[in-house]
Chains A and B, each alone.
Chain A
Amino acid sequence: MNRRHPFRWPVFFHLLSVILSLSLIGCSASSGNPQSGEPKATVELLNVSYDPTRELYHEINQRFAAYWKQQTGQIVTIKQSHGGSGKQSRSVIDGLEADVVTLALAYDIDAIAERGYLPKEWQSRLPDNSAPYTSTIVFLVRKGNPKHIQDWDDLIREDVAVITPNPKTSGGARWNYLAAWGYALKANNGDETKAQDYVNRLFKNVPVLDSGARGATTTFVERGIGDVLIAWENEAYLAINELGKEKFDLVNPSISILAEPPVTIVDKNVDKHQTREIATEYLKFLYTKEAQEIAAAHYYRPRSEEVRAALASPFPKIELFTIQEVFGGWDKAQQVHFSDGGIFDQIYQPAKK
């Protein structure tokens, strides 16, 4: 038995290793860019984004490609990558060569900046804090609103079960948490202890902490658990449209947070790929009327007043506060609330000294 192919296997392995290494060399050669001054006929961009923007960017990318072809004659293909915002940020840090990142929160881009991929003041490079579209946090309730949930105060009632993902694992959930905190702060004239008490009681009403926003939506929608889902406005609209207007209602709280998902180019990568110009143009395109209309169609609040005014069904008016106003920016909010030993940990670990 053992003697059937006495000398074949080593040869086979040799061949295998040669093939493998050749293909590796081939891969790296084809991804390297030639150092020519001539503009290339085709160019490729990689947009690393978070989960719910898949359809949005699918549409925007097509429009931008058409626009760019018309402007310069160059064919651009934009590849998309989607996943949890924090996870996407880590992929870029670990070497995913994103030309642009469009993530759910500035903190995730800050983390990339901290490792030298782009300047720390990236957020001032584009208008409106580098966030071309915004959203806010609203409530999704069961049809007819059987528990009469109207505002944040109702979420801490004892008979109400609230579904929201874990802010430690989900970037989106951090907006939810901060929205609740900001509300409580405003309702109690800036009293931090009362705000913490409110958020404490809110999380006592949370029976399941999903690890991501989509998971929380599934828990609420498919498994029928909980009376109210705290969600991004665009996600709430999407859930209602996809799963039936006859099943859910959207409730707008009196006050909420202005969620600003930011975008920026990754300097280190665009310089390497020689795509700085087109990547910048791509992001600027997001502020044009055309792209703003697409954003609105995907239930993101457009920045452009003009587009906003022309909408067939305008976004409801909610008093919105920014993270800068209430928390002094993401860095601080992260430090105080979500890092280990922060306020969120204290909610679940009050006994710890």
Chain B
Amino acid sequence: MRKRISSRGILPGFGLTMGYALIYLSLLVLIPLSILFLKTSNMSWEQLWMTVTDQRVLVSFRVSFLTAFCAACVNAVFGVLVAWVLERYQFPGKRIIDGIVDLPFALPTAVAGIALASIYSENGWIGQIFASWGIKIAYTPIGIFIALTFIGLPFVVRTVQPVLQDWDRQIEEAARTLGATRLQTFLRVIVPYLLPAIMTGFALAFARALGEYGSVVFISGNMPLQTEIVPLLIMTKLEQFDYLGATAIASVMLIASFLMLLLINFLQWKTNKFDAAR
């Protein structure tokens, strides 16, 4: 069966559709991104090195990657929890909550940024409480972390949810009858099954958080060497008409996030193989 179809080509008009796919991808993704490198190639290596190893740039890389990583980690844990609750339980208002999960997708990020900043600033509703304990949230890396957690949440929930949906509860029951405790069942049966989905969600949330600008600028305080994120530095360079500097930083960012995605995909592939082997 398979052979017959593949010899005829399972997609009718494969050449055409493939052509469209390639052109579409090129116009929207490949060409714009390669322009980035093309522009950077106008710089000498030394210039490039000077630009991207500037102390301020390095600090902003650290801030961006660290906060994005932490936010993605938190989302990986709590996103699974949300997906679990939505998938396993029936309760009134479930569909509404299910809809709310997507809000960070739909909301203009600037709106989110303004809302978060006003709630978490020293005089804000939540910020006040923390301020009385001497903890500043807005205008510190914690604020950036919160904004990035906010925008990353739906990625994990929406990748884990369908996998949970497909989950055969009999496996769980089998584990229980074989004497596994609830915790063992969860950690050794369910989590490994969910892991690839969680990692995909994590990678998506992480990648998104790295590039996030709108929601972060309002809450980060933008202090050089403290709370500047990489996208802000790119904006700063552009504002000085330093196109080259901006594209240089952008290219480094691009390569870094590409490597990150590659690594996570690799890990995912490993766990899949591990799963298949069992």
Does B232 lie at the interface of the complex (its beta carbon under 8 Å from any beta carbon of A)?
yes
Partner of B13, one of A7, A84, A209, A334: A7
What is the CB-to-nearest-CB distance from B242 to chain A, in angstroms, rounded to a whole number? 7
Question: Secondary structure at chain B's binding surface: helix, strand, loop or mixed?
Answer: loop
Task: Please determine whether B221 and A209 come into contact, CB atoms closer than 8 angstroms.
Answer: yes
CB–CB B222/A209 < 8 A: yes
- Whether the Cβ atoms of B122 and A349 lie closer than 8 Å is no
Cα distance, A215 to B221, chains bound together (Å) = 11
Q: How far is the CA of A348 from the CA of B242 in the complex (A)?
A: 20
Binds A, one of B32-40, B85-93, B113-121: B113-121
Interface contact B139-A168, CB-CB below 8 Å: no
Interchain nearest-CB distance for A281 vs B (Å)? 30
Chain A nearest Cβ from B77, distance in angstroms: 30
- Please measure, in the bound complex, the distance between the C-alpha atom of A137 and the C-alpha atom of B221, giving whole angstroms: 22
Of A87, A170, A211, most buried by chain B (CB within 10 Å of CB) is: A211
Which residues of A lie under 8 Å from residue B245 when comparing CB positions?
340
Kindly state the interface size class of chain B when it binds its partner.
35 or more
Residue picked from A87, A207, A225, A352, most chain B C-beta under 10 Å: A225
Within 8 A of B (CB), among A190-249: 207-211, 215, 218-219, 222-225
List, in ascending order, chain B residues with CB within 8 A of A219's CB: 117, 121
Smallest CB–CB gap between A203 and chain B, Å?
10
Residues of B within 8 A of A215 (CB): 217-218
Say which one of B146-154, B166-174, B203-211, B233-241 lies at the interface with A: B233-241
- Quick check: A168 and B236 within 8 Å, CB to CB? yes
A62 CB within 8 Å of chain B: no
- Greatest chain B CB density within 10 A among A215, A223, A340, A348 is at A223
Contact in complex: A209, B242 (CB < 8 Å): no
Q: Is the CB of B217 within 8 A of A339?
A: no
Instruction: Give A114's nearest chain B residue, CB to CB.
Output: B241
Q: Tell me if A90 is interfacial: C-beta within 8 Å of chain B.
A: yes
| Interface bin, chain A | 35 or more
How many Å lie between the Cα of A207 and that of B223 in the bound state? 8
User: Bound complex: CA of A65 vs CA of B54, how far in Å?
Assistant: 51
A296-321 CB contacts (< 8 Å) to partner B: none
Q: Is B10 within 8 A of A208, CB to CB?
A: no
* Contact present for A9 and B236 (CB under 8 Å): no
Is B42 positioned at the interface, with any CB of A under 8 Å from its CB?
Answer: no
Q: Is B16 within 8 A of A168, CB to CB?
A: no
Contacts of A352 in B (CB 8 A): 55
Contact check, A223 vs B123: say whether CB atoms are below 8 A apart.
yes
Q: Is B56 part of the binding interface, using a Cβ–Cβ cutoff of 8 Å?
A: yes
Within 8 A of A (CB), among B238-257: 238-242, 245
- Interface residue from B10, B114, B138, B242 paired with A2 (Cβ < 8 Å): B10
Given the complex of chains A and B, what is the CA–CA distance between A5 and B223 in angstroms? Answer: 57
Q: Does B13 lie within 8 Å of A345, measured CB to CB?
A: no
A10 at interface, CB cutoff 8 A = yes
Q: How far is the CA of A219 from the CA of B139 in the complex (A)?
A: 11
Distance (Å) between the CB of A331 and the closest chain B CB? 12
Q: Is B225 at the interface (CB under 8 A from chain A)?
A: yes
Q: Are A340 and B20 interface neighbours, CB within 8 A? A: no
Q: A10-B12, A10-B16 are in contact. Are A90 and B241 (CB under 8 A)?
A: yes
- Tell me the A1-52 residues at the B interface (CB within 8 Å): 2, 6-7, 9-10, 13, 17
Interface residue from B55, B56, B139, B240 paired with A208 (Cβ < 8 Å): B139
Which residues does A use to contact B, with CB under 8 Å?
Answer: 2, 6-7, 9-10, 13, 17, 84, 86-87, 89-90, 93, 111, 166, 168-171, 207-211, 215, 218-219, 222-225, 334, 338-340, 345, 348-349, 351-352
What 8 A-B pairs come out closest when comparing CB atoms?
Answer: A10-B13, A348-B224, A86-B239, A224-B123, A209-B222, A223-B121, A10-B16, A6-B12
Chain A to chain B contacts (Cβ below 8 Å), 13 pairs: A6-B12, A10-B17, A86-B240, A168-B236, A169-B232, A208-B221, A210-B217, A210-B218, A218-B114, A223-B118, A223-B122, A224-B123, A348-B56
- Given A7-B12, A210-B222, A223-B123, output 12 extra A-B contacts at Cβ < 8 Å: A10-B17, A166-B222, A207-B221, A209-B221, A209-B223, A210-B217, A223-B117, A223-B124, A338-B240, A340-B245, A345-B56, A348-B224
